[in-house]
Amino acid sequence: MSSSQSLTLPLLVELARELAAAGERQILGVCGAPGAGKSTVTSAIVEALGPDLAVIAPMDGFHMVNEKLEELGRRNRKGAPDTFEVDAFVELLSQIRHQTEELISAPDFDRTIDAPRDGAISIKKSVPLVITEGNYLLHGHGGWERVAPLLTQSWFVMLDDEIRQERLIRRHMSFGMSEALARAWTLGSDEKNAQGVREDVLRADLVITLAE
């Protein structure tokens, strides 16, 4: 692991473009604590490179459905490592890494309905760079340890905790939570998950602090 580097989005886009230029299937994992800016990075890359060069297959598409979380007694900590279908996620990444079919379907997560959407993303065999983003890509246990070996490169996005938490509160409120509930969820479940992710930075190929 390298020390944290302050990098701009345009520079990160160019690093991703170099990966895509390899011509073979590359999987870039972008991870970090909730609200750190993973989606900002991945969206910028895909927008700049275009659909012929890059596509996103997010870890969040593998959230367990709320009904299953209720049955398991985990609904109040949705977003924790054991509230995802990790086996299915690993299987998808393996298929992507060694893709033989012309098209693979992947799920996405719809925050407006708080649930995954199966088959929402199509991954063409011809696309050289597939980006996956999520909190636990570099987790070392609970089945997540099978993810890192499938990644070509792993980037860990860092952000000041206070800024990250305020960003999460605003995000939760934008999807219908009251300010009180958004703050409680951010400083409770989200923060517990963030603490669990911190040790994963040691496994990253590149540690990033976004520069203006």
Go through the domains of the chain in sequence order and give each one's CATH number.
Answer: 5-160+200-210 (3.40.50.300)
Q: Does the reported pTM lie above 0.85?
A: yes
First-to-last C-alpha distance (Å) of the chain: 23
Tell me the one-letter amino acid at 53.
L
> Would you state the structure tokens that stand for residue 98, as one six-digit string?
């060694």
Which one-letter DSSP state was computed for residue 206?
E
- Residues 98, 197, 38, CA angle at the centre, nearest 5°? 65
* Nearest residue to 160 via CA among 20, 47, 32: 32
Q: What are phi and psi of 74, to 5 degrees?
A: -115, 5
Q: Tell me the percentage of the chain whose pLDDT exceeds 90.
A: 60
Contact 186, 172 (CB under 8 A): yes
> Would you state the structure tokens that stand for residue 108, as one six-digit string?
């996405």
Average pLDDT over residues 149-154: 97
Helix (H) or strand (E) holding 107: strand 103-110
Q: Is the pLDDT of residue 168 over 50?
A: yes
Distance CA(161)–CA(141), nearest Å, equals: 24
Q: Over the chain, what is the mean pLDDT?
A: 90
Distance CA(36)–CA(190), nearest Å, equals: 12
